[in-house]
């Protein structure tokens, strides 16, 4: 049976992972497992930028053994980038098996604000569902409450819900019906 793998990389505080797995399972109606296998991200480090190239991580995640129709999303504390942009919250292979999301810029402390783990968990859930949505071939959605709405600020992440809008819901239901 196809499932979603959550792979924590350089992610010391795993307390929010059970809730994340639960939210992903509810949204995609697929089984979700939190994998505990070592994965070294140093190859993706850009020394000059002090950031990790998310596109390279997506390619490397193919080496993690998962089922044919499974999806895998890495969650990390490292700051991510793609060469053309100053940063990304996450990246996914459109209609592919791999995705990655970082909490580096989801934390309130990054913006000089007091730590807020509840808010961080909500943001992590939304960004994880968002990136996984892309792995099922879905594009950004113009509905600002839909989890697939594009966010370039954390405030925009806070504005949207952790659920798909009706239109994206219909699409995701078709896409998640893979042969069991």
Measure the CA–CA gap between 69 and 97, rounded to whole angstroms. 8
Q: Closest separation between CB of residue 63 and other proteins, Å?
A: 19
Tell me whether residue 36 is one of the annotated catalytic residues.
Answer: no
The pair of three-digit structure tokens given for residue 141, joined into one six-digit string: 């959605």
Q: Which of 142, 158, 166, 174 binds other proteins (CB under 8 A)?
A: 142
Q: Which of 29, 62, 85, 109 binds other proteins (CB under 8 A)?
A: 85
User: E strand or H helix at 122, and its extent?
Assistant: helix 117-135
Measure the CA–CA gap between 180 and 178, rounded to whole angstroms. 6
Measure the CA–CA gap between 31 and 42, rounded to whole angstroms. 30
State the residue for tokens 């009706």. 166
Residue 153 binds other proteins (CB under 8 A):
yes
Residue 134 binds other proteins (CB under 8 A):
yes
Q: Which of 72, 92, 125, 147 binds other proteins (CB under 8 A)?
A: 92
Q: In what order do the strands lie in the sheet with 4-9?
A: 32-34, 4-9, 71-76, 98-102, 90-92
Residue 30 binds other proteins (CB under 8 A):
no
Residue 172 binds other proteins (CB under 8 A):
no
Active site residues: 131
Judged by the rule CB under 8 A, the positions of this chain that interact with other proteins are: 53, 55, 81-88, 91-94, 134, 139-142, 150, 152-153
């Amino acid at each position: 049976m196809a499932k979603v793998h959550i792979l924590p990389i350089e992610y010391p505080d795993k307390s929010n992972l059970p809730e994340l797995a639960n939210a992903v399972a509810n949204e995609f109606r697929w089984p979700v497992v939190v994998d505990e296998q070592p994965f070294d991200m140093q190859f993706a480090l850009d020394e000059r930028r002090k950031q990790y190239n998310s596109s390279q991580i997506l390619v490397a995640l193919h080496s993690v053994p998962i089922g044919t129709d499974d999806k895998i999303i890495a969650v990390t504390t490292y700051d991510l980038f793609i060469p053309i942009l100053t940063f990304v919250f996450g990246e996914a292979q459109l209609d592919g098996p791999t995705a990655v999301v970082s909490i580096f810029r989801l934390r309130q402390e990054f913006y000089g604000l007091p730590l807020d783990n509840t808010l961080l968990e909500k943001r992590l859930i939304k960004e994880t569902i968002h990136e996984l949505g892309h792995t099922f071939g879905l594009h950004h959605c113009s509905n600002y409450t839909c989890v697939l709405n594009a966010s370039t600020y954390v405030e925009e992440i806070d504005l949207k819900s952790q659920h798909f809008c009706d239109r994206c819901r219909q699409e995701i239901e078709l896409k998640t019906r893979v042969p069991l």
